[in-house]
Copies of this chain bind each other. A is one copy, B any other.
Amino acid sequence: MNAGDYLKSKSQETETALETCLTSWKGAPPKLMEAIRYSLFAGGKRLRPALALGAAEIVSGDQQVALPLACALEMIHTYSLVHDDLPAMDDDELRRGKPTSHKQYDEATAILVGDALQSMAFEEITRTGHSDVVREVARAAGVSGMVGGQYLDIQGENKQLSLEELQKIHRCKTGALIAVSCRCGAQLGKGTVEEIDALTHYGEHIGLAFQITDDILDVVGDEAELGKPVGSDEGLHKSTYPALLGLEESRNLAQKAVDDALDALESFDEIADGFRALATYIIERKN
């Protein structure tokens, strides 16, 4: 199983569902919907939806039950990018090679695009009928998850962080939502407690591998392939894995996280091959 093909097939399912969701919004201001669409269809990899769909498929053979969750996760991820790019936050002008939302429109629109996407995400998850899934996603997205991590990240600029502090930031900022994608996908697929735990651990490990690789790409990546400037972490004086550990040790740590992710999948047969390919892809990707 090729990771690119796997991501692509899950991504197509997600895009169709996102399209259906957006066109169902009658009565909303058309220009605001256009700005939402601009960011939501900006060429993201749809990693979180792929994890939600894949986890449901692994435990039940059916990924459809997780489609509303997949859409919601992409909406939450997109809202966080739109807000993170704002001048008061990371002040980024390019995202995936295109002007960021506040450059393409204006700051007020970008703030409201993010706010609207978050509400839309929670409405979308209610289609699953599972209050506990809404709760887990809200927790992963909020003050002790993604938003809390972004806050710590900004507070950590221009400071020398310890490895422990850096890991805490990333566990919150990106790890929590990636792990909950796997976890809630498995819950919607009615996996056993052991299956849900195994896929949660897989998500935690690839989340770590993903973030270390992001830091490495910001040092050694190709600007054209990344679609954003390299060296932006250094410009913001952010603590990163390469800055703290050096490139080689960072690569070792990422590989260790991938190995741990693969171990977590041990009890699954070839139905989890897509997830296995994905784990390796995450540290080998160029963007």
Asked whether any CB of chain B lies closer than 8 Å to the CB of A268, the reply is no
Tell whether, in the assembled complex, residue B111 and residue A143 are in contact, meaning their CB atoms are under 8 Å apart: no
Residue numbers in B under 8 Å from A135 (CB-CB) = 123, 126
Q: Does A36 contact B (CB under 8 A)?
A: yes
CB within 8 Å for A120 and B134 given contacts A29-B151, A106-B88: no
Verify if A33 is at the interface (C-beta below 8 Å from B). yes
Give the segment of A20-28, A244-252, A277-285 that binds chain B: A20-28
Q: Mark A126-168, 1 if CB is under 8 A from B, else 0.
A: 1011111011001101111101101110110000000000000
How many copies altogether? 2
- Which of A26, A27, A118, A122 is packed against the most chain B CB atoms within 10 Å? A122
Bound Cα distance A150, B112 (Å): 8
Per-position binary interface string of chain A over residues 60-101, scored 1 when its CB falls under 8 Å from any chain B CB and 0 otherwise: 000000000000000000011001001011000000000000
Interface residue A116 (Cβ < 8 Å from any Cβ of B) = yes
A32 is an interface residue with CB less than 8 A from chain B: yes
Q: Contacts A120-B143, A131-B131, A138-B126 hold; do A148 and B28 have CB atoms under 8 A apart?
A: yes
A107 in complex: contacting residue of B28, B80, B88, B132, CB < 8 Å: B88
Q: Say how far A262's CB is from chain B's closest CB, in angstroms.
A: 28
**In the complex, residue of chain B having the shortest beta-carbon distance to the beta carbon of A22:** B143
Q: Are A29 and B152 in contact (CB under 8 A)?
A: yes
Contact of A131 among B106, B129, B155 (CB under 8 A): B129
Judge whether A26 and B132 touch: CB under 8 Å: no
Chain A interface category by residue count: 35 or more
| A138 close to B151 (CB less than 8 A) | no
Q: Is residue A193 within 8 Å, beta carbon to beta carbon, of the partner chain?
A: no
Contact indicator B147/A119 (Cβ below 8 Å)? yes
A114 to B88, CA, bound (A): 14
* Cβ contact within 8 Å between A112 and B151: yes
Contact: B138 with A123, CB < 8 Å?
Answer: yes
CB distance from A247 to the nearest CB of B (A): 29
Say how far A118's CB is from chain B's closest CB, in angstroms.
5
Q: How far is the CB of A147 from chain B (nearest CB, A)?
A: 4
Residue of B nearest to A114 (CB): B115
Supply 11 A–B pairs (Cβ within 8 Å), ascending by A.
A108-B154, A109-B151, A115-B118, A116-B143, A116-B148, A118-B118, A119-B145, A122-B138, A126-B132, A129-B131, A131-B131
Binding site for B on A (CB under 8 A): 25-29, 31-33, 36, 79-80, 83, 86, 88-89, 106-109, 111-112, 114-116, 118-120, 122-123, 126, 128-132, 134-135, 138-139, 141-145, 147-148, 150-152, 154-155
